[in-house]
Chains A and B, each alone.
Chain A
Amino acid sequence: MSRLRELLFPLGAVLCAFAVGAVVVLLVGDSPIEVYRLLLGSALSWPDGIGYTLFFATPLIFTGLAVAVALRGGLLNIGAEGQLYVAAFATAWVGIKLTGLPSLLLVPLCCLAAMGAGATWGAIPGLLKARFGSHEVINTIMLNFIAVALVGYLTQYHYRLPGDPIMESVPIGDTAHLPRLGSFVPGLPERIPLNVGFLLALVAAWLVYVLLWKTKWGYEIRATGQSPAAAEYGGISIRKEIVLTMAISGALAGMVGINEVLGYRYRYYDGFSDNYGFTGIAVALLGRNHPAGVLLAALLFAVLQRGGVPVDAFTQLVSKDIVQILQALVILFVAAEGMFRVRGKR
């Protein structure tokens, strides 16, 4: 019963969002049926639609998981954006510096660099909160600015290919590349950047589930998130949990760098993130901070992202802003659902 409700409420929010979105399309003067047909049709076509949708979903799964873990631990990580930038740069840095190492060594090292850098960047606001009680929301936002500026500076002045007009680093070694799924999935062309990073995202979701519900660490994280006073009473160190949770969250956000650098561009490309870190907050909310929910929510947002392009191209009046409107509506209805719950309790 309760599980069904967990599924029904977000589903209701999505349907409501699409209904209101239809009204918006009507007001603009186009046919909602046509717009939704274009949107879903292109996002779910084989192989291009599905390939790109899953590729777009990959970073959102990572950031959604990152935010979800933090929220389970009672922390609001708005810093996934900064964490994934620092991590992507670190991934590329290892891939550049250790060029020539065999794949079996270099790929894991690059992955560790991504997770380690993300974890470090996440742990900083955790430490600040644990030690000084400063709020993680403020500090993660601040660290986002620092991260973007830092990696921008490093790219611009230290790792740019001489004469390259684009803000991007030199390429990483060939042995650091992650295979594209097209190289072994029949019918999926290799030009689609969907890569092994997506499979890592699925594994990460499963690992997060195991961590949170099957291990004592997860128990302590959830207990701290649910009631710090009760966790403290149960002999759990709140300060340790805050730092640990933020580090795990940061590591998950950092894994975006694996997909981006090792699986897609093979270099650090400045400003690559399409607000993945912030969309991750919406993904986690819609997914009810559960890994399975995060997977579904990330897919939905990826469908919208992928489907927006043809909507823009093939309709007269509707632009791809409709996607933004739909995303905003989904978030609004998810938030409104919280309101219904509060009322239901009275």
Chain B
Amino acid sequence: MKLELRNVTKRFGAVLANDHLNITIDSGSVHAIVGENGAGKSTAMRIAYGFYTADSGEILVDGTPRDIRAPRDAIALGIGMVHQHFMLVRPMTVTENIVLGAEPGSAMSLDVRKASGAIRALSHEFRLAVDPDAIVETLSVGQQQRVELLKALYRRAELLILDEPTAVLTPQEVEEFFAILRRMRSQGKTVIIITHKLSEVLAISDRVTVMRDGRVVGDLKTSQTSAAELARLMVGRDVLLKVEKAPANPGATVLTVRHLSIDAAGGASASRAARHAPPQRRRVDDVSFDVRAGEIVGIAGVEGNGQTELIEALAGLIPQSHISGSVTFGDRELRLFTARQRRELGIAHVPEDRHRRGLLLEFSLAENAILGVHYRPPAASGPGTLLLDQNAIDQRAELIVREFDVRPANPALPARALSGGNQQKLIIGREFELPPVLLLISQPTRGVDIGAIEFIHRKIVAMRDAGCAVLLVSAELEEVTALADRVLVLHNGRVAGEVNPSTATPEQIGLLMTGGRR
């Protein structure tokens, strides 16, 4: 199926999300759309899928202008979409999930068996290896993603739009996933993949469209471009894709973790990552490690393997009743320290989910700049440090905004008004200004622009060089290996191994991520 967007324009209030876009996706190809957050790539694809309607412009399917006003119009035309966050009903079977909204049979009787057979045939045709009768929550993340693919295929999609499909996959799973995409292409399907991982663009796509600030700034044949060129187009300037850092110079041990375990209930509400993990299993299982001053210890692993809970436990956000083992900071046993007391000791925490944990979205930048230190001078003053000192708060906010390049630089704006990258810089600024002895930092660049990634990486390395102990968690393997001086791999809440990031190959780490031993 050939899809064309012609002169598509979409405005949200004052923001021009799509500015006269012209994108052509050839039938039977894998087409990547890349761009920074806010470049408009997701908006464009949501217009194609009928989530939004364009203010002007037209959509052509196989050369015919089509009016796509809702997702059901898109589905009827054979366009399917798989979202970054799966839309599956976890306690139901694969078949039930797939037929949801398109149930076969009459209103009174649901013909599940017929659907199950059709799904089995589809799964076989594309070698997806999904059992139609399995309960979704027992499946791995990679399998769940294939269920999403099946859902689209079952509705006879000829063109599939995939939004950041590899975000939750291990390197091996990514390889399998790409193999599936290639098979789909060979069967005549068309695939659009929205991503920000340039290596994957180069590995899988036939053509790539680069977007910046709501406009198409490049439309290239993948075989004739490079990661550096794509990054330059995305950002509008040359970008350092590698992290530059000197060898670490580790000092005294700052954090000692011994036999730390967290039971299943301890992480139940912790994150969306935890929801991907099967229930009733220890979230963290007998984990021991040290972090020394002046080194970055990286934690690699597929999301949902205990990273979230580990960091939250160290930050004091998981009730002690769910935790066993010991955590020492310097010579203090941290067990009885609250989150507030830990921050007073110099433990800063950049949380993985900045919208849920890291920010008060309706609060101003200034108010967000004091979260965690709001109750003590300089933020609070007067009798009993009861009154907020607006001048001191503004000063702190202005310092962070300036030092960490938060834009727009207006401390009175609500945090919601900032882009993801700027929100992240605000949080990082706040935590770095603590200043920390130990920095717990989770997914530091998730959903952050390439330009800001470079900036954040430099700041983390500078923090290390200033003698801070850093514990870094990231689902991006490249990020962990680029930043960390040592890497621990977590699998099922256990440390599956420790590797030297400068010598280990992605395949070796990937194997550990799936629980295999070296």
Contacts and interface: CB of A to CB of B under 8 A. Distances in A.
B386 A215 contact: yes
B125 interface: no
Contact of B371 (A215, A217, A230): A230
A226 B361 CA distance: 8
B171 to A, nearest CB: 31
Interface in B357-379: 357-363, 367, 371-372, 374-375, 379
Contact of B358 (A216, A222, A230): A230
Contact of A235 (B338, B362, B379, B385): B338
A223 B388 contact: no
B388 A233 contact: no
A217 B386 CA distance: 7
A315 B387 CA distance: 54
Contacts of A226: 360-363
Contact of A233 (B351, B363, B385): B351
A230 B374 CA distance: 13
Given A216-B374, A219-B374, A233 B362 contact: no
A214 interface: yes
B317 interface: yes
Size bracket, chain B contacts: 20 to 34
Contacts of A219: 367, 374, 388
Contact of A230 (B340, B357, B379): B357
Contact of B372 (A214, A215, A234): A234
Size bracket, chain A contacts: 10 to 19
B372 A233 contact: yes
B388 A229 contact: no
A223 B386 contact: no
A42 to B, nearest CB: 41
Interface in A285-304: none
A260 interface: no
Interface in B16-45: none
Interface in A204-256: 214-217, 219-220, 222-223, 226-227, 229-237
B266 to A, nearest CB: 14
A216 to B, nearest CB: 5
B356 interface: yes
A290 B66 CA distance: 48
Given A233-B351, A233-B372, A234-B374, A216 B386 contact: yes
9 contacts: A216-B374, A216-B385, A219-B367, A220-B374, A220-B375, A226-B361, A233-B351, A235-B341, A237-B338
Interface of B: 315, 317, 338-341, 343, 349, 351, 356-363, 367, 371-372, 374-375, 379-380, 385-388
Interface of A: 214-217, 219-220, 222-223, 226-227, 229-237
